[in-house]
Amino acid sequence: MKITRIVYYCTYARSPDELPHYSHPFLTVEEARDEALALSNAGYYGEIEKHHQFGHDDEPNSTWRVDWESAGDDAITLVDEF
């Protein structure tokens, strides 16, 4: 059965020439904001992104995918910059 979730990621880097890194997924925007503050204090900059994801109940937890089909253009949205 298909299941969906909304999670938040921090994408971050130290310079514009560096490819951004992704944090682990956070279940609340407040947790993502706390991580963004810690990253900012460590010299990183970046964004908090909201992701609509889907998986199947018989798959491992590591196989979540972006839900473009159900969420369309809102599947990944920018929440804030830091």
Total domains in the fold of the chain: 1
Task: Give residue 40's domain range.
Answer: 2-81
pLDDT of residue 61: 75
**In this predicted model, what pLDDT tens digit does every residue of 1-57 receive, in sequence order?**
999 999 999 999 999 999 999 999 999 999 999 999 999 999 999 999 999 999 998
pLDDT of residue 78: 98
58 band by pLDDT with thresholds 50, 70 and 90: confident
Burial pattern 27-49, b for ≥16 Cβ within 10 A else e, equals eebeebbebbeebeeeebbbbbb
Given a contact cutoff of 8 angstroms between Cβ atoms, the answer to whether 8 and 25 are in contact is yes
